[in-house]
Copies of this chain bind each other. A is one copy, B any other.
Amino acid sequence: MMKKPLAVVLVSGGMDSCVTAAIAREEYELAMLHANYGQRTERRELRAFKEIAEFFGVAGQLVIPLEHLSTIKGSSLTDPSIPVCDAELTNREIPTSYVPFRNANILAAAVSWAEVLAASAIFVGAVEEDASGYPDCRKEFFRAFSETIRIGTKPNTVLQIATPIIDMSKAEIVLRGKALDAPFHLTWSCYRQEDVACGTCDSCALRLRGFQIAGVDDPIPYDKKPMYPHRQNRAYSP
């Protein structure tokens, strides 16, 4: 039997990266990377990362401290003086939860690690349509970053960025995860709380609506489970 090639999967602890890991596992052996960046729910997300990595039997784990992303402030996710807003799923502005260039920081670390491991892919669970309109979640961004990798690494390093769910809706991600037995019960998405998900922040709203549209029960505990309207998803257009 041929040995599978190696992929580094960015695992935040949320449902998107968990399903992405389940997809990557079909063709790759996995290593998993998680970033602590002083986000409000840092400890809960780290626990989710560890439990997901254990679920998938992943030995290669790397947790990176990107504390400068909270030192510099500028985001409601990392700056206690900026409140986490309730979701406005039709809003077209970049939300206050945007952490400037966060994905580039995490990807750069992933590339360094992948180059040492001689991995052939980096899997990212970015979702363009409903991932809150962050500029560093779009296909163009990953394309530009891929070019930066090609030029900025050793000539014999060949490293692909894979974003298998980037065009899916949250409901499609739920269904794909369900089909692959992704451990949704271990994931954490809430931006506000660590014990019980609030159900009303941006991240909870997108998640709950996805499960509602898919007709699947979300197994994690919520404070409130509002019914969200099945409107057009918010998409960021510059």
Contacts and interface: CB of A to CB of B under 8 A. Distances in A.
Question: Taking the full assembly, how many copies of this chain does it contain?
Answer: 2
Contacts of A109: 66, 68-69, 105
Contacts of A64: 67-68
A112 B116 contact: no
Decide if the interface of chain A is mainly helix, strand, loop or mixed: helix
A103 interface: yes
Interface size class of chain A, counting residues whose CB lies under 8 Å from the partner chain: 35 or more
A225 B144 CA distance: 44
Interface stretch (A39-47, A146-154, A166-174): A146-154
A144 B155 contact: no
A168 B104 CA distance: 29
A136 to B, nearest CB: 4
A164 interface: no
7 contacts: A69-B109, A74-B115, A102-B112, A135-B152, A138-B151, A140-B151, A147-B147
